[in-house]
């Protein structure tokens, strides 16, 4: 059927505007499929290295090591969320930002990242007191430098997403994941203990920021709030929602770490990561890829929800079998892959897999 003579299923010729809409929809869907393909290729290849390294590292480290880093992650994850400040979402959605405004938004992101680093350093001692673990202070101080390093890639990465250059993003992230897996394994093998879970992240954050900057050449300018007021206001709205969501999602880690200690938190955190890996990886991939298309369709509600429902259908078909299958074989999986010192987490893993199955579709609502 030629594009000039398309007809509906009942043989009624389409109006030119309807025909154009169908062509646009088909092209958009094809671009989305290509974006998902490139992003998943880079992401899952990198994850294969990451989990391969993790399954080796867990035999070199202990649940206590993972628990210590998990305690700091509760704080660092919250500060990292605030440090990002919703800037990437604003850049993707606000397509009218010119080159100079992008440079100023980039400057804002780096300033917020620097402030976040300072907050992290100052909070190190109170955090160690809260959990009554002196080792946490140095870990928090060193980890805090990651806030500044990561802020350097916020806008360049968002610019590539807005351009739907997911092939480029996939290449950078694959190399970053490979580098991280290699460094973590090397540090653990040389007896670095819990530092094997801290220092490599800083090295990879610095390299990734450099790689994204080289791909985009976004300038770093001092922000003039009169010029980026709308982007700033939108970022505040985004970050306020993410802040409350983060507190809700991580209350369990705070309680386990405070009441049950580092070893219990290490087991719980590992079980959570395993149970939610299909969700986090697949839905995280979809959330990233869908953002520029949601932005493109934000004024066409009918087409927007059609696109959203297609994504939900596809994700459920992939994620549900994975998490329920892992719940079925969790005792054997823990014993074979992680080793006997992690055996206490098998029942926790089963319960968290069931919870993860309930979260498959709701997770996709936030990006929408």
Q: What is the pLDDT of residue 19?
A: 53
Q: What is the pLDDT of residue 47?
A: 64
Q: What is the pLDDT of residue 209?
A: 92
pLDDT tens by residue, 13-25: 445 555 556 656 6
DSSP code at position 165: -
In contact, 5 and 133? CB cutoff 8 Å: no
Q: What is the pLDDT of residue 237?
A: 74
Q: Token pair of 128, please?
A: 């160690």
Residue 319 has pLDDT above 80, yes or no: yes
Question: What is the average pLDDT across 325-345?
Answer: 85
Q: Share the mean pLDDT of the chain.
A: 80
Q: Token pair of 198, please?
A: 């801290």
Question: What is the average pLDDT across 81-100?
Answer: 75
Residue 33 has pLDDT above 70, yes or no: no
DSSP code at position 5: G
In whole angstroms, what is the distance from residue 151 CA to residue 83 CA?
A: 7
Which of 262 and 349 is assigned the larger pLDDT?
349
| Partner residues linked to 13 by β-bridges | 7
Q: Give the position of tokens 């450099």.
A: 210
Residue 63 has pLDDT above 90, yes or no: no
CA proximity to 173, closest of 204, 131, 138: 204
Question: What is the average pLDDT across 41-60?
Answer: 70
In whole angstroms, what is the distance from residue 268 CA to residue 196 CA?
A: 19
In contact, 147 and 120? CB cutoff 8 Å: yes
Residue 210 has pLDDT above 90, yes or no: yes
Alpha-carbon distances, residue 123 vs 74, 141, 143 (angstroms)? 12, 8, 12
Which of 192 and 170 is assigned the larger pLDDT?
192
DSSP code at position 7: B
What sign results for the dihedral spanned by CA atoms 219, 122, 135, 247? negative
What is the pLDDT confidence band of residue 313, given thresholds at 50, 70 and 90? confident
**Poorest-pLDDT segment among 61-65, 175-179, 320-324, 359-363:** 359-363
In whole angstroms, what is the distance from residue 351 CA to residue 359 CA?
A: 13
pLDDT tens by residue, 259-288: 888 788 888 888 888 888 877 777 667 776
221 SS3 class: coil
Which of 279 and 176 is assigned the larger pLDDT?
176
**341 contacts: CB under 8 Å, gap ≥ 6:** 62, 63
Residue 300 has pLDDT above 60, yes or no: yes
Q: Token pair of 362, please?
A: 């709701």
- Give the number of residues written for the chain: 368
Residue 211 has pLDDT above 90, yes or no: yes
Q: What is the pLDDT of residue 145?
A: 92
Residue 206 has pLDDT above 90, yes or no: yes
Residue 7 has pLDDT above 50, yes or no: no
| CB neighbours of residue 152 within 10 Å | 22
> How many Å separate Cα 180 from the centre of its chain?
15
Which of 318 and 143 is assigned the larger pLDDT?
143
């Amino acid at each position: 059927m030629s594009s000039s003579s398309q007809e509906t299923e009942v043989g009624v010729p389409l109006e030119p505007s309807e025909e154009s809409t169908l062509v646009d929809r088909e092209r958009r869907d094809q671009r989305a499929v290509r974006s998902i393909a490139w992003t998943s290729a880079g992401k899952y290849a990198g994850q294969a290295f990451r989990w391969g390294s993790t399954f080796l590292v867990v035999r070199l480290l202990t649940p206590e090591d993972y628990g210590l880093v998990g305690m700091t992650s509760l704080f660092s994850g919250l500060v990292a969320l605030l440090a990002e400040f919703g800037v990437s979402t604003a850049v993707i959605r606000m397509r009218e930002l010119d080159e100079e405004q992008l440079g100023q938004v980039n400057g804002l992101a780096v300033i917020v990242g620097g402030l976040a680093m300072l907050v992290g350093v100052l909070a190190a001692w109170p955090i160690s007191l809260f959990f009554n673990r002196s080792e946490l202070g140095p870990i928090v101080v060193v980890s805090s430098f990651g806030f500044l390093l990561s802020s350097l890639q916020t806008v360049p990465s968002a610019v590539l997403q807005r351009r739907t250059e997911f092939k480029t993003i996939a290449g950078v992230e694959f190399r970053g994941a490979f580098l991280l897996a290699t460094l973590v394994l090397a540090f653990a093998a040389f007896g670095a203990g819990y530092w094997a879970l801290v220092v490599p992240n800083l090295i990879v954050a610095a390299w990734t920021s450099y790689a994204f900057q080289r791909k985009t050449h976004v300038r770093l300018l001092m922000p003039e709030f009169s010029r980026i007021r709308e982007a700033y206001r939108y970022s505040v709205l985004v970050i306020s929602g993410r802040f409350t969501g983060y507190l809700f999602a991580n209350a369990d880690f705070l309680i386990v770490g405070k009441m049950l200690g580092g070893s219990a938190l290490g087991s719980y955190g590992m079980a959570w990561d395993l149970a939610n890996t299909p969700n986090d990886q697949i839905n995280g991939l979809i959330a990233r890829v869908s953002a520029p298309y949601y932005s493109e369709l934000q004024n066409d509600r009918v087409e927007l929800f059609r696109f959203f429902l297609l994504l939900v259908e596809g994700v459920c078909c992939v994620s549900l079998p994975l998490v329920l299958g892992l719940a079925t074989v969790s005792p054997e999986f823990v014993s074979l892959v992680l080793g006997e010192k992690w055996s206490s987490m098998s029942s926790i893993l089963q319960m968290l897999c069931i919870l993860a199955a309930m979260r498959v579709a709701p997770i996709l609502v936030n990006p929408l």
